[in-house]
Structure 1
Amino acid sequence: MAPTDEDHAPGTPSTPSQQGLRERKKRETRVALSQAAIRLCVLHGWANVTVDQIAAEANVSVRTFRNYFAGKAEAIAASHLERMLRVGDDLLARPAGEPLWDALLHAVLNQFAPPGSSSPQNERWAEGVRLMLAEPALAGEIVKANATAQQELATAIARRTGTDPERDVYPKLVAAVVGAANGVAVEHSLRPGAAQPLGAVLAQVFDQVAAGLPAP
């Protein structure tokens, strides 16, 4: 079950370590619910999946699901936001002397195409993802997740480059480009009959962006 705000004795202040553990468990529960929603909707179709089924798949109660998400669209979009948050974390952990676009590519690959995922997508799974992403009910939540993800990534880029995320346009622009590049790569890799895995497409996309998008 998901952790609650009452997992320590009433009136007893939480220590920083307890607070950190609780937040980590909450984040893990969010991810588990989001991944369960994606898995079920891809395999069975958007209209055939209920919140009850998602909660059961994640081994939590429906009440716990409602504590985290208003519905399955928000749950699905949460995975994208979580992945982009980890991209920002990975970026900040990269060697300081590494060129920015190299560091961004490695950070993105670590989250979107980790080692061991080099084989092309199963066609049935890819078709399920395409149908899920085309669902109108999901569009608004994806837009909101993208906006938050872009803001958080811009903050990480600003720290990496010594710029100001509020006053300087550079970190916001780079974050927007990364978001667009990821979207193009994912869409391209999900095409029917696509021969290249997502990691290879991401590498091509980031190489072209880093080169200034020269004309073919």
Structure 2
Amino acid sequence: MPTEPSLRERKKLATRAALSRAAWSLMVEQGLDAATPEAIAAEVDVSPRTFRNYFASREEAILYSLVQRGHDLLDALRARPVEEPPWDSLTHVLPAWTTEFVGQRDTIAVLLRVVEVNPSMLAQHVVTYELIDRQLADLIAQRTSTDARRDMTPRLLAAAAAAVLRASIEVWAEGSDDIALPVLVREGLQQVRAGLPAAAALQVSSGLLSSPEDT
């Protein structure tokens, strides 16, 4: 049974979370250039040295909250019935969780624009998704009594779910229609489960694959 964190540990976690919120707000409201370690520290009324005790960079601070929300995904999956197939568990959990993960549409759109033009943010964004991906693979391995270091199945399932998540968020944030994010995630998971029939149809129409009539 996990032990409760001490008062000191809770204070450290609160400070880390406050620094991350400040970094995120500065980026969204004033742009990435405004989110310096000094400005982030000032928002929380701590010293720049304190900031550097918690984060190696502003990019890490900005995306820290996404990593923490990834832990909520793992907790939600652990709560699913043990005998439930992993993809069924993901289909039940991911659509609703994604909304909590990304927050508001306009702010995630800002993040994606920043990531697109800033190499350091892109690198940290990749690291964030890879961390969640790896943790998800380990959890799937635990629930299926496999070894993620030797068995491809948990890695493939986690990578496929992460790809659906990324694609859904990008379409939702950059699109002009009103399709809800959970709907996109659910549709993406269904397409992967069905073997990506839409992608296969596109390949046939482009001549990349032979249609059944051609064989």
Residue of structure 2 equivalent to 1:45: 31
Q: Is the 8 A contact 1:42 1:132 kept in 2?
A: no
| Stretch of structure 1 that moved more, 33-42 or 52-61 | 52-61
By how many angstroms is 1:22 displaced?
Answer: 5.0
Residue of structure 2 equivalent to 1:89: 75
By how many angstroms is 1:35 displaced?
Answer: 3.0
Tell which has more relative contact order, 1 or 2 (C-alpha 8 A, sep 6+). 1
When the two chains are superposed, the root-mean-square deviation of aligned CA atoms in Å is: 2.7
Q: Over residues 45-91 of structure 1, what are the superposed CA-to-partner deviations in whole Å (9 max), with x where a residue is unaligned?
A: 11122223323434544333211112211112323322223222221
- In the alignment, structure 1 residue 209 sits paired with structure 2 residue 212: no
Q: Over residues 177-208 of structure 1, what are the superposed CA-to-partner deviations in whole Å (9 max), with x where a residue is unaligned?
A: 11111110111111142422322211111121
What is the TM-score when the length of structure 1 is the normalising length? 0.76
Aligned length: 196
Q: Is the 8 A contact 1:55 1:62 kept in 2?
A: yes
Q: Distance in 2 between matches of 1:71 and 1:39?
A: 16
Q: Which runs of 4+ in 1 moved over 3 A?
A: 16-32, 56-61
- Map 1:24-173; keep pairs closer than 5 Å: 25-58=11-44, 60-114=46-100, 121-122=105-106, 125=107, 127-134=109-116, 135-173=118-156
Q: Distance in 2 between matches of 1:174 and 1:127?
A: 27
- In the alignment, structure 1 residue 186 sits paired with structure 2 residue 140: no
Structure with greater helix percent: 2
Residues 1:26 and 1:175: Cα distance change in structure 2 (over 3 Å): farther
Q: Distance in 1 between matches of 2:24 and 2:5?
A: 29
Q: Is the 8 A contact 2:96 2:182 kept in 1?
A: no
Q: Is the 8 A contact 1:40 1:54 kept in 2?
A: yes
**Structure 2: which amino acid aligns with 1:162?**
S
Identity %: 38
SS in 2 for 1:113: helix
Q: Distance in 1 between matches of 2:41 and 2:97?
A: 25
Unaligned runs of 5+ in 2: 202-215
Structure exhibiting the larger radius of gyration computed from Cα positions: 2
Unaligned runs of 5+ in 1: 1-15
Q: Is the 8 A contact 2:59 2:121 kept in 1?
A: yes
- In the alignment, structure 1 residue 200 sits paired with structure 2 residue 186: no
**Structure 2: which amino acid aligns with 1:186?**
I
SS in 1 for 2:81: coil
Residues 1:31 and 1:170: Cα distance change in structure 2 (over 3 Å): farther
